[in-house]
Amino acid sequence: MATTAPTGSPLSQPSLTHPPPPRKLTTVQALSESPGLSSIPSIYIFPEQTYHEPVSDTKEPIPTIDFSLLTSSHPGQRSKTIRELGKACRNWGFFMVTNHGVPERMMKAIIEVCREFFELPEEEKRGIGGKHVLDPIRFGTSFNESVDEILCWRDYVKIFQHPEFHSPKKPPSFRFVVV
């Protein structure tokens, strides 16, 4: 049996011979909307040593990749764009894509149906999919909440689209917009 010091004592950490009790998880949305929240809970805060050095103010714009150049018939242009894509991934970790062929109205419809999904009650969102990392539909805050020591300050819905399309049942319009 694990022993612990009285609550509040600096020695009140549980023994490492037994796993800690399961934690009650909630969505980041529910936490952020709760009236009693005055600070971010510690389970969402990474230790100091994992922080990167602050980036100084940069005048560089966010990298932009012209998707149409990746399918260009000019090998030199394609190669240059692939190098720019690699550089954006290495140096920034993200980039903006232009000329991707997705109509503006489609992007707006997807954003709206995702907004509808995240406005569902927490219980409904939690019930939409599996609990395992490879389940075709998942909702959560972190990659693997049952083992992650620090959780991400976000809510997400993950849906496999290939080789088979999957969709949550709610909101009903989700399936028709995203397919």
Residue 111 has pLDDT above 80, yes or no: yes
**Are the beta carbons of 31 and 37 closer than 8 angstroms?**
yes
Q: Which residue has the tokens 């009285």?
A: 6
| Tens digits of residue pLDDT in 24-57 | 567 888 888 888 888 888 888 877 765 566 665 6
Cis peptide before 21, with omega less than 30 degrees from 0?
A: no
Residue 80 has pLDDT above 60, yes or no: yes
Residue 22, both tokens: 């399961």
| Tens digits of residue pLDDT in 117-163 | 889 888 888 777 777 777 888 887 877 677 778 888 888 888 888 78
26, burial (CB in 10 Å: exposed 0-12, middle 13-18, buried 19+) = middle
141 Cβ neighbours under 8 A, 6+ residues apart? 25, 27, 28, 151, 152, 153, 154, 155, 156
Of 4-8, 40-44, 74-78, highest mean pLDDT: 74-78
Mean pLDDT across the chain: 78
Q: Which residue has the tokens 């140096």?
A: 91
CA–CA separation, 38 and 53 (whole Å): 26
